[in-house]
């Protein structure tokens, strides 16, 4: 089996996931890690697939769904999935009045301490007059949660945002 | 004492509802001893429920001293446990001896009061919070055939409990 990263984008409507995964199933593909979500008015899929023959046959299997649902599809062959090295140990929550530069300043500070972003979700909401930005980052801080608190602390004032830094600990019962 | 073997998902026996204990005899106390040893040897070592070792009775052990030291109730033998009060909500990441290699975010009450009987059949009541309260709720779920997988929430849920307030 070979591996590829499949990207799908289309105007959101019911049935996109069903059509794409059904096509993959009939092409004897299996699905690995996947992220599927609505962003704005679009539905997005990014997922690792394993396919038995060649990517051409995967594309062919997806073709009816692509045409029917007006999707844009991209397939990147990948040599193999890198082993997962770092598990997230820190969750950072950020919110505040929306303005340019929040993500850049927060992630810049995180990068300076070697923080590896594993998952970032954000949402612009609130009203047009009072836009609100909310972001949740999960990642691995090599020097621990305190180093993240320290590096982000000045941004509370300079960016006028609320920042929460929480350890992620899995309790095994 | 005997080490008992742990059922692991997808064993369908983990989804059965356990029966109340009515006989508090020597056999029960032997079983509680074996269950205690099995719990201590596990990867978490802080909680276990009888259905996890294929005994379909409402018996739960929690001892979070490996995690919290002496700042807790120590070993609690909770037979026929009932949550009689709870408040607060917290998201926490949980794993389970019966679900190897997987963890997930679960919402639990922050503070609980639990009533139960001990191995001699005496009534007991404990007030717990935080990690200890989470452990008890996780284990009591096993008595009702629930795994933490049944209570998974999206990563967003802790922050995005309500979405928009459009007027």
Q: What is the pLDDT of residues B99-121, one digit of tens each?
A: 987 888 899 999 999 999 999 99
The residue from B19, B123, B132, B139 that is catalytic is B139
Largest CA distance in chain B: 65
| pLDDT surpasses 60 at B162 | no
List CB contacts of B154: < 8 A, sequence separation 6 or more.
B105
3-state percent helix, strand, coil for chain A, nearest multiple of 5 = 30, 45, 30
The structural domains of chain A, with segments of one domain joined by +, span 2-78, 90-167
**8 Å CB contact of B93 and A123:** no
Mean pLDDT value across residues B2-16: 95
Across chain B, what does the average pLDDT equal? 90
User: Which residues, given as ranges, of chain A have pLDDT below 50?
Assistant: none
Nearest Cα of chain B lies from the Cα of A26 at a distance, in angstroms, of 26
Is the per-residue pLDDT at B55 higher than 80? yes
> Cα–Cα–Cα angle for B131, B134, B136, nearest 5°?
115
**Considering the domain B12-158, what is its CATH architecture?**
Alpha-Beta Complex (3.90)
**Confidence tier at B74 by pLDDT (50, 70, 90):** very high
Instruction: Give the Cβ contact number of residue B58 at 10 Å.
Output: 23
pLDDT at B160 over 60: no
| b/e code B18-50 from CB counts within 10 Å (16+ = b) | beebeeeeeebeebbebbbebbeebebbbbbbb
The domains of chain B are located at: 12-158
pLDDT at B2 over 90: no
Nearest to B95 among A121, A168, A171 (CB): A171
Residue of A93, A123, A173 with shortest CB distance to B44 = A173
B19 is catalytic: no
CATH architecture of structural domain A90-167:
2-Layer Sandwich (3.30)
Q: What is the pLDDT of residue B156?
A: 46
- Cβ proximity of A4 and A58 under 8 Å: yes
Q: What is the pLDDT of residues B57-68, one digit of tens each?
A: 999 999 999 999
- Which CATH architecture does the domain made up of A2-78 adopt? 2-Layer Sandwich (3.30)
Q: What is the pLDDT of residue B161?
A: 37
A94 CB neighbours in chain B (<8 A) are: none
Give the pLDDT confidence score for residue B120 in this predicted structure: 97
Q: Which one of A119, A123, A173 has the shortest CB-CB distance to B135?
A: A173
Q: 76-105 in B: which are within 8 Å (CB) of A?
A: 92-97, 103
Question: Which residue from B minimizes the CA distance to A121?
Answer: B156
First to last CA, chain A: 36
ipTM above 0.85 for this complex: no
Q: What whole-number distance in Å separates Cα of residue B100 and Cα of residue B42?
A: 11
Q: How confident is the model at residue B13 (pLDDT cuts 50, 70, 90)?
A: very high
Nearest CA in chain A to B52: A173
For residue A85, what pLDDT is reported?
65
| Chain B residues near residue A119 by CB distance under 8 angstroms | 155
Which of B108, B132, B141, B159 is the mutation pick for testing A, counting most A CBs within 10 A?
Answer: B159
- Cβ contacts of B164 on chain A, cutoff 8 Å: 125
Q: What per-residue confidence (pLDDT) applies to B158?
A: 44
The reply to whether B46 touches chain A by the CB within 8 Å rule is yes
Residue B26 in this model has a pLDDT that exceeds 80: yes
Q: Please report the beta strands in chain B, taking only residues with DSSP state E, as ranges in sequence order.
A: 47-49, 59-62, 76-87, 90-96, 99-108, 111-117, 123-129
Q: End-to-end distance of chain B based on CA atoms, in angstroms?
A: 65
**Is the pLDDT reported for residue B142 higher than 60?**
yes
Q: How confident is the model at residue B166 (pLDDT cuts 50, 70, 90)?
A: very low
């Amino acid at each position: 089996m070979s591996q590829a990263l499949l990207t799908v984008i289309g105007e959101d409507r019911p049935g996109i996931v069903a059509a794409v995964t059904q096509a993959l199933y009939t092409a004897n593909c299996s699905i690995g890690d996947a992220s599927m979500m609505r962003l704005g008015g679009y539905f997005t899929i990014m997922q690792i697939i394993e396919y038995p023959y060649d990517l051409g046959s995967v594309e062919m299997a997806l073709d009816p769904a692509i045409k029917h649902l007006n999707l844009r599809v991209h397939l990147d062959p990948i040599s193999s999935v890198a082993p997962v090295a770092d598990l997230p140990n820190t969750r950072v929550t950020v919110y505040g009045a929306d303005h340019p530069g929040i993500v850049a300043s927060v992630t810049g500070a995180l990068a300076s301490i070697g923080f590896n972003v594993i998952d970032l979700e954000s949402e612009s909401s609130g009203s047009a007059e009072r836009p609100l930005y909310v972001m949740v980052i999960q990642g691995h801080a090599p020097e621990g949660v305190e180093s993240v608190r320290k590096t982000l602390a000045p941004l509370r004032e300079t960016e006028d945002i609320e920042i929460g830094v929480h350890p992620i600990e899995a309790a095994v019962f | 004492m005997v080490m008992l073997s742990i059922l692991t998902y997808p064993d369908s026996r983990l989804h059965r509802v356990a029966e109340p204990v009515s006989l508090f005899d020597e056999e029960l106390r032997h079983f509680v001893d074996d269950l205690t040893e099995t719990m201590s040897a596990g990867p978490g070592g802080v909680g276990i429920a009888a259905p996890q070792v294929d005994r379909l009775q409402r018996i739960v052990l929690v001892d979070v001293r490996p995690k919290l030291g002496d700042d807790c109730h120590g070993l609690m033998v909770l037979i026929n446990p009932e949550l009689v009060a709870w408040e607060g909500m917290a998201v926490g990441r949980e794993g389970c001896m019966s679900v190897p290699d997987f963890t997930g975010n679960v919402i639990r009450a922050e503070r609980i009061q639990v009533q139960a009987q001990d191995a001699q059949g005496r009534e007991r009541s404990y007030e717990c919070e935080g990690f200890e309260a989470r452990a008890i709720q996780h284990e009591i779920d096993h008595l009702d055939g629930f795994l933490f997988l049944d209570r998974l929430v999206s990563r967003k849920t802790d922050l995005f409990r309500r979405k928009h307030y459009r007027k």
